[in-house]
Amino acid sequence: MRSRRSISDIVAVVLLIVIAIAAAVIIYMWLSGLIGSVHTSTTATQVKLEITGANVTETPGTTSSTYTVYATVYNPPDSPTTTITLGELELTNGTMICSTNNINPAASSYSTTVTPDGSSIIKFSCTGPATSPGPVEVFLVTSQGVQVSFTTSITTTTS
């Protein structure tokens, strides 16, 4: 009878050890998942793009205007190669004029990819409501989710 009780105690200790190991593995997997997501988001902070100049041209239409945006983007030497995936045009009070994710170079002088220690001219067009003359902000968003902006004014052309 005494030997059965000691076997039961040994089984209980082994079960407690197994439960503790399983809990440690689950906690480790949870923490490594959090560390992994923090690691990928730090890549976005390493992108240090800046817009060094921008030009916005408005071509008025009957119900809306077409905006053509040219932005010169500089990528410092310590920043990774990045791709511009989204272009937005906003009033300086934050009101959206138009945006597009169709940033494809129409000519060889335009690009969507900016290499380290390089500059590229990004061109995009979008359609939105006619605006009064004044300052606007050009926003570019990279494939890593980094957003850069530049304040400029709109030049109106006739069609």
Rounded Cα distance between 90 and 88, Å, is 7
Rounded Cα distance between 99 and 117, Å, is 27
Rounded Cα distance between 9 and 17, Å, is 12
DSSP lists the bridge partners of residue 58 as 67, 156
Q: Tens-of-pLDDT digits for all 159 residues of the chain?
A: 555 557 788 888 999 999 999 999 888 887 777 655 555 544 555 778 899 999 988 888 878 888 888 899 998 888 888 888 888 989 888 888 888 887 765 655 567 888 888 888 888 888 888 877 778 999 998 888 888 998 998 888 775
107, 108, 71, 106: which is closest to 86 by C-alpha?
71
